[in-house]
Structure 1
Amino acid sequence: MKHRNTNSGGRMLAPALAAATLMSGAGSALAAPVSTNLQFTCPFPLIGDQPISAEISADIPTSATVGSPLPAFAVSALTLVNEDSRTGLKLVGSETVEGTAVNTNQIITAGGTVEQTVTLTIPQSPIPSESGAFTVPADGQAPELTFTDQDIGNAEIRVGGLTLNLVARTANGDIAPAPIGEITTNCTLLAGQDNLLQTITVEGDVVETPRIAINRDEVAFGNVQAGTTKDEIVTLSNTGNAALGINGVSIAGANASAFMQSNSCSTIAAGESCDVNVTYIPDGEGTQNATLTINSTDADNSSVDVALSGRSVLAPIPEIAVTPASVDLGRVQLGQSNSVQVTISNNGNETLLINGIALTGADASEFLQTNNCTTVAPGQTCAAEVSFTAAAAGVRNAQLVISSDDPENAEVSVPVTAEGFEAPTNEIELLLDLAGSTYINSSDSTLPLNGSIATLLELASGTFEADLNVEPTVGHFSIKLLFSRLNATANVEFEQSEMTTGSLVNGKLTANSHLFIKVPKVQLKLFGIPIKVGGGDQCQTIQPVDITLTSVEGSNFSPATGGEVSGVYDLPPLENCGLLTSVLNQFLTGSGNTIDLTLTPEL
C-alpha cells in the first residue's frame, strides 16, 4: 500500500492539550462526519501521569478507489484539561498554552498496516483563573492517501499514540519556568477503548492513467565562459498507474542554438523515471534563454515546459551565493550565547576573492562574527559564524555585510536578529498543610500529627528544601510492666534539627527530615490518680530522628494538589527526662515505627 504524506506540520502541567491529532484517511466519495472521544495518559514532570480526554471531529469518506489520490481533509478537536493541570500551570504564573500535537494512526487494509502521521496546531489559548477543567482547541489536516490493488476491501483507520509539544507562557509572554514551560511528552491510548475512527471501502475499479512530473521547472546555468560547456539534468517521472509515452523532447526560443538536449526517454513505466541531459554551449557575451518542451501521453498535461537560461562570459568570473539569506538567532537567555553559520559559495568559474566580512547596524556591537574566508575556488564554499551573547533583554538587529570581487554582486547584506530575555524564576514556594498520625511500635499506640511544611522547589531539577513545622501533640500510651499495665499521657513536641531535603520527579516525592522528639510532660495513672513522672524542657531524644517519607505506592504527588506520603523510622532513646527516663523509653523508643501523612497545598 502506498501512503504519501503531504502534510507538514511545548513544560507544562497541562496534560491534555492535543489529543486532537487523531485523524487520518481521506476519500473521493462523499465525506461522512465522524466524532469520537478517547482517553489517554501522558507522563509530565512533577505531577507524573495525567489523563487526557479528547473529542475529535472530521469528515472522512466511506469509500475510495484504488490508484486515485484521496485529498487531505481538515481535522478539529477539543481537548479537556483537568483541574490539577490548570492549578499547576497557575502555580508558576502561566497565562496561556500553545504548541503542536503529533499523532500516529494505523491504517489497516488487506495488504497490511501502514502508520500515518497527523500534525495539529494548538493556538495560544488562555488558562482560566477560575477553578475547574477547561477545553483547548486544535486544528490541522490529515495527509493525502493512495490505495493499491492489495488494499481492496475494507480499510480501517484506528487511532494510535500521540506526542505533545507544549509551551506555557506567563503574562508578559515569557516561557514559564522549567520543567513546566516547554515539554515534549509521549502519550498512551488507554486500553479497552474502541479506537476505530472510520471504515473505508476500497474499490478496485482502477482507471489506468499516466501522469508526468518533472523535478524542476527551470534550469539556470549561471555564468559560463564562452568556448566551454555546462550540463544539467531534468528528471521526468510517471506518477500515474499506466505507462507514460514520451512523444518528443525539443528546445525552442530566441537562443535555442545555445542549448542542446539528449535523452533515452520513450516509455516510462508507472512509478519510474528517466533523465534528459541539457547542455549549455555559451557563445559571445550576454544572457541567453530558451525553453525545453516535453510532449507526452498525459492527457491532462500533454506538454510541459522548462525554462533554460545562461550567461555567456568572455573571461572567467566569480559568482557569489550566500545561505541563509537571513539569520535569526532566536531567543537567548541573558548571559547565554547562540550562533549560526553562514555559508558563502562560489557558483562561478573563477576564484572568488572575499574582500571583507563585517557586522554593521545599530546593534552590531552585540554580535560577533568569525570566518575562514579569503578566496573561494569555483564550486567551493567557506563559512562565517555569527554569534550573539545576550547582555540585556530585547530584540537586537544588525547586518552581516560580505564584500567580494563578484562583478555583479560586490556586496551581499544578510539581516541578523536575536532577542535577549531574562529567564523567569526557576523556583516556586509552596506551603503545605500536613495531617496524619504516627504509630509507636513499642507501646502499640498512635499519635496524631498536624503542622505545615514550607518548601522551596527547584523546578528544573525537581529538588527542594523545606522548613518542617510539626505542632505539639498529646499521645496516650500503655506498656506492660511486671504483672500490671501502665497507662500514660505524654505531651510531645518536635524540633527541626536541620532543613528537610528531597526531590519531586514525575509525581514521586521523597523527603528526608531530621527532628528532635521532646517530651516536656508525662503523667501516669496509678489507681486512677494522674501522677507526673518525668519530662521537662531538656527531655528529648539523644539524637535527631531521621525520617524518610515517600509517595504512597500507586499514587502521584503534585505541587498543585499534594498527596499522601508514608515512612518507617527508628526512635532513639530519650535523655534528661528525670528518674523514670528508662520507663519513658519503654513507651516511646525502638524500631518499626510508621508515619502516614496527607500533604495539602495552601493556594
Structure 2
Amino acid sequence: MSSKSRALRKGAAIGASAGVVVGLAGALGAGTASAAPASPARPMLAGTHTFNYTCTYPLIGKRPLKVAIDTNIPEKLGVSQNTGKIQVSWTATLGDDTTSGLNAVDGASIEGSAEAKAQVVGPGYPNGVNVSTKNALQPTPIPSSGSFQIKGYGEAPGISFDSAGQVTAKLGDMNLNVLLKKKDGTPGALGTFKAPCTMDAGQDATVASGQVVDGDQTLPTPVTPPSYFPYTGAPVSPGQLSYAFNLKGSSFIKSPNGTMPLDGSIGVKVDGATGAITGDLTLKKATGKMNILGFLPVDATVDFAQVGQTVGTYANGEIKTTSTMYIKLPVMSLMGIPLGGGDQCQSSKPSAIDMFSTPGQFFDPKKGGPYKASNYVISDIVNCGPLNGILSIFTAGSGNTIDANLTPSA
C-alpha cells in the first residue's frame, strides 16, 4: 500500500474517532463537560481536550456546548505499524437552557448520530486532507429541568504510515441527525432533524497530534463497544406540536385614549419541520372607558371577531403571529346615554394584528410569557347610528397596542 493511501486512512480514522464525537455532543447543548475514563495508553494529544460549539436546532434556535473527549490514539506510532481499531468516548453535561428547549418541543429522550468534519495533516499530506465521519450517542432521558449528562462513542479502522513525521488532526464544523422521543417512547413532532454546529472562534481546534517514529510502539488494548453503537434508528418524518394558552392583558386604543381589558384563549398547531403556526384566537367582549375630545368619558364595549385563523412562526425560540380581526363596538354611551353601537357597528376593514413574544428571549410554550402587539390599525367604523361619522373620527387610526401574557391552559 502507498504512503498516500495510508495517509488518507490516517485522516479518516482520526476524523471518525474525534470530530464526530464532538459533533454529537454539540447537538445536545451547553454545560460543563467531564472526561470519559482514560484509555490504557496516552492519546496523541496529552490529556482531555474541550471544544466549544454552537448548534442550531429547529424551532428553539441556537444552543452552545462544551464537550471533552478521549481517544485511544497512541502518542507515538511506529513506521508501518497499524494502530488497531481507534476508539473514542465522551461525556458532556447539558445546561438547563438546553433542557428547557428540548422540553419545549416535547423531548423526553434523545438519540441519534452525527457527521463531523476534520482536517488531518501528516506525512504525504502537508496541506491536509478533509474527512467526514460518523458516530453514535447513547439514548438518554431528558429531565424536566436542570442539567443532565450524555455519553457517546465512535470508532474507526486501524491506520499506519510508511514514513516518519508529525501528524495533527483539527476539528471543523458538523451536522447532527437527532431524534427526540416523547414520554410514551414514540417519536417527537420534530422527527429526525439535522442541526448544524459551528466551532466557536478563538480556540485551538487540535484534537490529536503526535509522531510517527522508527520502531513499533506499545498500543492500548481495545475496549468492548457499547450496545448503542452503531446507531441503527430509521429516519422519522416530522409531525405537529399542539399548544393551548389562556390570554390576559389589555389593549390601548390611541385615538380615544382608552384601555380595554383582554381575556381569551388561543390554541395553535406548530409544524415540526418549518415552525409554521396555525390556530384560533378567541377574545371575550370587554368594556372600558374612552375619552372623546379629550374630556368626554365614553363607556364602550369592544368585541374582537377573528377572520380566518391566526398564522405565524415559532423560530429561534420566538413566536410571531398575525391575527386578522374586525373591531366591533356594540355599545357606546356617555353617562348612560347611548351614542351609537349595535350588532352591525364595526370597523369597515379587519385589522391585521401582529403579535410577538419578547425579542431575543426564549419563549417556552410549557411556561408561557409576554405576548404583545406594538402597533395595529383600526379602520373607519360603519353602521354605528346617527353619530357614526363623528364617532369614527375618535376611534379610527394607528398606534394601537396590546400588552398581554400567555399561560398554558390546563
| Structure 2 letter corresponding to 1:517 | I
Show the counterpart of 2:28.
17
Q: Work out whether residues 29 and 55 of structure 2, in 8 Å CA contact, stay in contact via their aligned partners in 1.
A: no
Return the alpha-carbon distance in structure 1 between the equivalents of residues 408 and 200 of structure 2.
Answer: 30
Kindly indicate whether structure 1 or structure 2 has the higher relative contact order, using CA contacts under 8 Å at least 6 residues apart. 2
Show the counterpart of 2:54.
40
Match of 1:73 among 47, 69, 87: 87
| Structure 2 letter corresponding to 1:122 | L
Show the counterpart of 1:307.
none
- Quote the offset at 1:138 in angstroms: 1.5
Return the alpha-carbon distance in structure 2 between the equivalents of residues 533 and 477 of structure 1.
Answer: 14
- Quote the offset at 1:533 in angstroms: 5.3
| Structure 2 letter corresponding to 1:440 | I
| Structure 2 letter corresponding to 1:540 | Q
Match of 2:115 among 81, 102, 110: 102
Q: Deviations over 1:327-369 (max 9, x none)?
A: xxx9899xxxxxxxxxxxxxxxxxxxxxxxxxxxxxxxxxxxx
1:467 aligns with 2:272: no
Alignment of structure 1 residues 22-171 onto 2, 5 Å: 32-36=46-50, 38-44=52-58, 46-47=59-60, 49-59=61-71, 63-64=75-76, 67=79, 71=83, 72-80=86-94, 82-90=98-106, 95-107=108-120, 111-128=126-143, 130-141=144-155, 152=166, 157-170=169-182
- Quote the offset at 1:453 in angstroms: 0.6
Q: Deviations over 1:171-200 (max 9, x none)?
A: 6654334xx1211222223345x3445563
Return the alpha-carbon distance in structure 2 between the equivalents of residues 558 and 148 of structure 1.
Answer: 56
Return the alpha-carbon distance in structure 2 between the equivalents of residues 16 and 457 of structure 1.
Answer: 22
Return the alpha-carbon distance in structure 1 between the equivalents of residues 135 and 29 of structure 2.
Answer: 8
Return the alpha-carbon distance in structure 1 between the equivalents of residues 26 and 247 of structure 2.
Answer: 27
Alignment of structure 1 residues 217-256 onto 2, 5 Å: none
1:516 aligns with 2:308: no
Return the alpha-carbon distance in structure 2 between the equivalents of residues 117 and 517 of structure 1.
Answer: 58
| Structure 1 letter corresponding to 2:281 | L
Q: What TM-score comes out, normalization by structure 1 length?
A: 0.49
Aligned identity (percent) is 26
Match of 1:572 among 379, 395, 401: 379
Match of 2:305 among 496, 520, 534: 496
| Structure 2 letter corresponding to 1:83 | T
SS at match of 2:28: coil
Q: Work out whether residues 573 and 585 of structure 1, in 8 Å CA contact, stay in contact via their aligned partners in 2.
A: yes
Show the counterpart of 2:396.
589
Q: Work out whether residues 438 and 449 of structure 1, in 8 Å CA contact, stay in contact via their aligned partners in 2.
A: yes
Question: For the structure 1 residues 196 and 594, does the alpha-carbon distance in structure 2 shift closer, same or farther, using more than 3 Å as the test?
Answer: same
Show the counterpart of 1:545.
351
- Quote the offset at 1:574 in angstroms: 2.5
Q: Deviations over 1:270-297 (max 9, x none)?
A: xxxxxxxxxxxxxxxxxxxxxxxxxxxx
| Structure 1 letter corresponding to 2:149 | T
Bigger CA radius of gyration = 1
RMSD between superposed Cα atoms in Å: 4.5
SS at match of 1:588: coil
Q: Work out whether residues 442 and 588 of structure 1, in 8 Å CA contact, stay in contact via their aligned partners in 2.
A: yes
- Quote the offset at 1:34 in angstroms: 0.6
Return the alpha-carbon distance in structure 2 between the equivalents of residues 476 and 150 of structure 1.
Answer: 87
Question: For the structure 1 residues 115 and 537, does the alpha-carbon distance in structure 2 shift closer, same or farther, using more than 3 Å as the test?
Answer: same
Question: For the structure 1 residues 446 and 114, does the alpha-carbon distance in structure 2 shift closer, same or farther, using more than 3 Å as the test?
Answer: farther
Return the alpha-carbon distance in structure 2 between the equivalents of residues 439 and 15 of structure 1.
Answer: 45
Question: For the structure 1 residues 332 and 127, does the alpha-carbon distance in structure 2 shift closer, same or farther, using more than 3 Å as the test?
Answer: closer
Any gaps of 5 or more consecutive residues in structure 2? Answer: 217-232
Show the counterpart of 1:190.
200
- Quote the offset at 1:432 in angstroms: 1.8
| Structure 1 letter corresponding to 2:117 | T
Q: Deviations over 1:233-261 (max 9, x none)?
A: xxxxxxxxxxxxxxxxxxxxxxxxxxxxx
Q: Work out whether residues 159 and 195 of structure 1, in 8 Å CA contact, stay in contact via their aligned partners in 2.
A: no
| Structure 1 letter corresponding to 2:173 | G
Which structure has greater helix proportion?
A: 2
| Structure 1 letter corresponding to 2:48 | V
- Quote the offset at 1:151 in angstroms: 5.5
Q: What TM-score comes out, normalization by structure 2 length?
A: 0.68
Question: For the structure 1 residues 471 and 69, does the alpha-carbon distance in structure 2 shift closer, same or farther, using more than 3 Å as the test?
Answer: farther
1:431 aligns with 2:238: no
| Structure 2 letter corresponding to 1:17 | L
Q: Work out whether residues 170 and 208 of structure 2, in 8 Å CA contact, stay in contact via their aligned partners in 1.
A: no
Q: Work out whether residues 93 and 147 of structure 2, in 8 Å CA contact, stay in contact via their aligned partners in 1.
A: no
Return the alpha-carbon distance in structure 1 between the equivalents of residues 373 and 310 of structure 2.
Answer: 15
| Structure 1 letter corresponding to 2:130 | E
SS at match of 2:47: strand
Q: Work out whether residues 476 and 487 of structure 1, in 8 Å CA contact, stay in contact via their aligned partners in 2.
A: no
Q: Work out whether residues 60 and 198 of structure 1, in 8 Å CA contact, stay in contact via their aligned partners in 2.
A: no
Show the counterpart of 1:261.
none
Show the counterpart of 1:254.
none
Return the alpha-carbon distance in structure 2 between the equivalents of residues 158 and 67 of structure 1.
Answer: 22
Q: Deviations over 1:366-404 (max 9, x none)?
A: xxxxxxxxxxxxxxxxxxxxxxxxxxxxxxxxxxxxxxx
SS at match of 2:172: coil
Return the alpha-carbon distance in structure 2 between the equivalents of residues 594 and 469 of structure 1.
Answer: 17
| Structure 2 letter corresponding to 1:190 | D
Q: Work out whether residues 547 and 567 of structure 1, in 8 Å CA contact, stay in contact via their aligned partners in 2.
A: no
Which structure has greater strand proportion?
A: 1
Q: Work out whether residues 41 and 72 of structure 2, in 8 Å CA contact, stay in contact via their aligned partners in 1.
A: no
